[in-house]
Amino acid sequence: MRDDKAGDAAMTALLPRYPAYKASGVLWLGDVPAHWQTRRLKYLLRERVDRSTTGTEQLLRVSQYTGITERKRSDGGDEPDTRAVSLIGHKLVSPGDLVVNIMLAWNGSLGVSPFRGIVSPAYCIYRFGESAVPWYYHHLLRSPAYRARIKALSTGVVESRLRLYTDDLYPLEALLPPLPEQQAIVRYLDHHDRLIRKYLRAKQREIALLQEQKQAIIHQAVTRGLNPDAPMKPLGSTPPCVIRQDWSTPRLWQMARVRSEKDAPDLSLLSVFLGRGVINYSEGGGQVHKPSRDLTGYQVVHPGDLVLNNQQAWRGSVGISPSHGIISPAYVVLALDTSLEPGYAKYLFPSQVMVAQYLVSSKGVGDIQRDVHVPWLMNARVPVPLRDEQLAIAETLDRKVRAIDHSIVENTLGINLLHEYRARLIADVVTGQVDVRAAVEQRAAAAALPDETEDPDDWQADEVEEADEGLAVVEESEGVAEEEEG
Q: Is there a domain that residue 213 lies in?
A: no
Rounded distance between C-alpha atoms, residue 101 and residue 486, angstroms? 11
Asked whether residue 389 is assigned to any structural domain, the reply reads: no
CA 460 to chain centre: 13
Q: Assess whether 398 and 430 both reside in one domain.
A: yes
3-state helix, strand, coil in the chain (%, to 5): 40, 20, 40
- Rg (C-alpha) for the chain, rounded Å, is 26
Q: What integer pLDDT is reported at residue 13 of this predicted model?
A: 57
Same domain, 275 and 194: no
For residue 449, pLDDT beyond 70: no
- Let me know whether 151 and 271 are in one domain: no
Collect all residues with Cβ–Cβ distance below 8 Å to 106 and sequence separation of at least 6.
147, 150, 151, 154, 159, 162, 164
CA dist., res. 474 & res. 302, Å (int): 31
Kindly write down the DSSP assignment for every residue of 298-342, as one continuous string: SEEE-TT-EEE-TTTGGGT-EEE-SS-EEE-TTSEEEEEPTTS-H
Residue 472 has pLDDT above 90, yes or no: no
Between CA 149 and CA 155 the distance in angstroms is 12
DSSP state, 40? E
pTM (two decimals): 0.76
Query: Quick one: pLDDT band at residue 21, thresholds 50, 70, 90?
Result: very high
Per-residue CA distances from 38 to 31, 32, 426, 432 (Å): 11, 9, 19, 12
User: Do the domain assignments include residue 22?
Assistant: no
Integer Cα distance of 385 and 245 in angstroms: 10
Query: What is the arithmetic mean of pLDDT over 244-255?
Result: 97
pLDDT of res. 422:
93
Q: Are residues 171 and 185 in the same domain?
A: no
Angle formed by the axes of helices 179-224 and 352-360, nearest 10°: 100
The confidence score (pLDDT) of residue 368 equals 65
Structure letter (DSSP) for residue 431: T
| Domains of the chain: total | 3
* pLDDT single digits (tens) 273-291: 888 899 998 887 555 567 8
Q: pLDDT tier at 158 (50, 70, 90 boundaries)?
A: confident
Contacts of residue 368, defined as CB under 8 A and 6 or more positions apart, other chains included, come to 74, 472
Structural domain containing residue 78: 38-176+462-486
| CATH code of the domain in which 355 resides | 3.90.220.20
Mark whether 195 and 305 lie in a shared domain.
no
SS (H, E, C) 347-407: HHCCCHHHHHHHHHCEECCCCCCCEECHHHHCCCECCECCHHHHHHHHHHHHHHHHHHHHH
* 285 and 187 within one domain: no
Is 29 contained in some domain? no
Q: How far is CA 182 from the centre of its chain?
A: 30
At 363-399, the pLDDT tens digits run: 876 666 789 999 999 999 999 999 999 999 999 999 9
pLDDT confidence tier of residue 111, bands split at 50, 70 and 90: very high
Per the CB < 8 A criterion, the answer to whether 123 and 173 are in contact is: no
Which uninterrupted H or E stretch holds 437? helix 437-441
Answer yes or no: do 238 and 367 share one domain.
Answer: yes
Mean pLDDT of the chain: 86
**pLDDT computed for residue 284 by the predictor:** 75
Which DSSP state fits 293?
Answer: S
380 lies in the same domain as 232 = yes
